[in-house]
Structure 1
Amino acid sequence: MGSVVSLLAPRRLASMTFDFILPPVCHCCGAETSGSGAFCAECFMHLRIIGRPCCVSCAVPVPEKAFLGHSGRCAVCEACLPPWRQARAAFVYDEWSRKLILPLKYADRTENARLLASFMKRAGSDLLIGNDLLIPVPLHWTRLLRRRYNQAALLARALARGKGMPTCIPDVLKRAVMTQSLARLPSRERAREVQKAIVVRRQFVPAVEGKRVLLIDDVLTTGATARVCTLALLDAGATSVDLLVAARTERFASESEGEDGQS
């Protein structure tokens, strides 16, 4: 016991010294935090974690008194069922969650991937247990060259860490066609823009055949990109596809809150 204490004490001292030199800061606003938490009290209070009730097919949060069908789906999904089986999201995509996601995408804040993944694991714990592969939504090579990394792949790798997690294969999907930025496109134009733009690389078809796939992305808006990815995976022989994202727009058919390349 004494040896354990003697080992812990220097580590604790080193941690306290490091925190004194470089105090922990909130991942959202950058303000110093008093403890080891990832957020200051104000930002954590404003972050909208998606719980129940939400649609099992598109993860959109719904008011408690809103109608969900016997299957747990919202009216939109009941009328037009997505090709994926189920979807989960950690946060509502709003001004507060954007402070975590946009720096990851555009400002090299790659450390945010592990933080977002920790919340995604809670939101999609059942999907992580029930699937074989983690496959991220791809970037076109020109955007990948410009950004130097695919944020969805970083999330997938972070999710794969830990005992019993599905295997992450980051390069299964390929954007065969360079699409224009989807940020300001209406939902119908998004769907036309990404149609046939994403394919499964030939060398990965055997790895996908007969497997249950969990598709990973940072944000779900209209579902146009996720739909094309799902159909490509199913065509390659996947037995099923589920969807797990860091954040999801509050309205299913939002046409003004998207970012480029997202689902």
Structure 2
Amino acid sequence: MLARLIAARLPESQGDPYVLVPVPLHRNRLWQRGYNQAGLLAQELARLGHGSVCVDGLVRTRATPSLGGLGRKARTRALSGAIAVKASRLPCIQGRSVVLVDDVLTSGATSTACVAALKRSGAASVRIACFSRVLDEALDT
């Protein structure tokens, strides 16, 4: 249901289909949780015809603390240098229109780090598709 709601707002790609890249979890967190919610959303968006999934296009190069309860600046510090494009997935990213998929966008720190990594690696454009957005008023700065 969440992917269908995101899909309803996702504009049609101009040219090549989108590459759907989920926000990554660190391997320890993925192992603990057993799934990546952003990855599941990306896979469903692909099934609905909105592009192809590059499920491991981004990686967390180091574990980051849980960002819950952290303000905007602390989130940005925690994510500094923690997200990169997986070298073997560069051909999926370079020159392509990418949709970064996440469930919740809180402060934007994770999305900003992901977008920066994708752009540094040659993505032609990056859009963010998420189900929910936390209002700035709800965050400590």
Does the pair score TM above 0.5?
yes
Q: Distance in 2 between matches of 1:162 and 1:215?
A: 16
Q: CA deviation at 1:153?
A: 0.2
TM-score where L is the length of structure 2: 0.92
1:129 partnered with 2:129: no
1:240 partnered with 2:106: no
The code of the aligned residue for 1:143 comes to: R
Q: CA deviation at 1:162?
A: 3.2
Aligned to 2:75: 190
Q: Is the 8 A contact 1:211 1:238 kept in 2?
A: yes
SS in 1 for 2:136: coil
Matches for 1:87-236 after TM superposition, within 5 Å: 115-124=1-10, 126=11, 128-130=12-14, 132-163=18-49, 165-236=50-121
- Count residues in correspondence: 138
RMSD of Structure 2 on Structure 1 (CA):
1.4
Q: With a CA cutoff of 8 Å and minimum separation of 6, indicate the structure with the bigger relative contact order.
A: 2
Show CA shifts across 1:176-200 (max 9, x none): 0111010011111100110110000
Q: CA deviation at 1:253?
A: 5.5
Show CA shifts across 1:111-170 (max 9, x none): xxxx1001111122x1x534520000000000100111100000000011134x211110
Q: Is the 8 A contact 2:54 2:92 kept in 1?
A: no
* Structure with bigger gyration radius: 1
Q: CA deviation at 1:221?
A: 1.1
Q: Is the 8 A contact 2:19 2:92 kept in 1?
A: no
Which moves more between the two structures, 196-205 or 128-137? 128-137
Q: Distance in 2 between matches of 1:144 and 1:159?
A: 20
Aligned to 1:254: 138
SS in 1 for 2:21: strand
The code of the aligned residue for 2:38 comes to: A
Q: Distance in 1 between matches of 2:106 and 2:4?
A: 21
**Unaligned 5+ residue runs, structure 1?**
1-114, 257-263
TM-score where L is the length of structure 1: 0.51
Identity of aligned residues (%): 38
**Unaligned 5+ residue runs, structure 2?**
none
